Amino acid sequence: MFRALADASRRKLLDRLHARNGQTLGELCRGLKMTRQAVAKHLAILNRASLVSWRREGREKLHFINPVPLHEIAERWISKFEQGHLSALSALKTHLEGENRGPKIRKPLRVRHLHPNHS
């Protein structure tokens, strides 16, 4: 799937399907500087990666984005990196709100490094 997403043309096709799902090959080709055959090849790669599906309606073949694999990536990889950022922001908010409530003994604020190379 990452290989399929690595190409800017394929990401553009996904963006177009996200904007309006259920487009034909001809509709997806409009305004692109690619041949119809190139767009069809990109769609085939996206289909093999389960990012795009299609169904026939009469003589037309309609293409649809499949958000499930992208959601799974977000859940597995992206959300675990967001947790550290959210915890740090929450700690900062709590610390700053405590400063506005008058004098009291506070524990020092401990902020973790948010850079991916630091844990």
Q: Look at residue 20 in the predicted model and tell me its pLDDT.
A: 96
How far is residue 65 CA from its own chain's centroid?
13
pLDDT at 92 over 50: yes
Quick one: pLDDT at residue 119? 46
- Domains of the chain by residue range: 2-66, 68-119
Q: What CATH fold (topology level) applies to the domain 2-66?
A: Arc Repressor Mutant, subunit A (1.10.10)
What is the distance between the alpha carbons of residues 77 and 82, in angstroms, rounded to a whole number? 9
Q: Chain-wide mean pLDDT for the chain?
A: 84
Residue 10: burial class (beta carbons within 10 Å; 0-12, 13-18, 19+)? buried
CA atoms within 13 A on the CB side of 63: 25
pLDDT, tens digit, 9 for 90 and up, residues 59-68: 999 999 999 9
- Condensed to tens digits (0 to 9), the pLDDT of residues 5-25 reads 999 999 999 999 999 999 999
Q: By the 8 A CB rule, do 29 and 39 touch?
A: yes
Instruction: For residue 100, name the pLDDT band (cuts at 50, 70, 90).
Output: low
Q: CA-to-CA distance for 4 and 6, rounded, in angstroms? A: 6
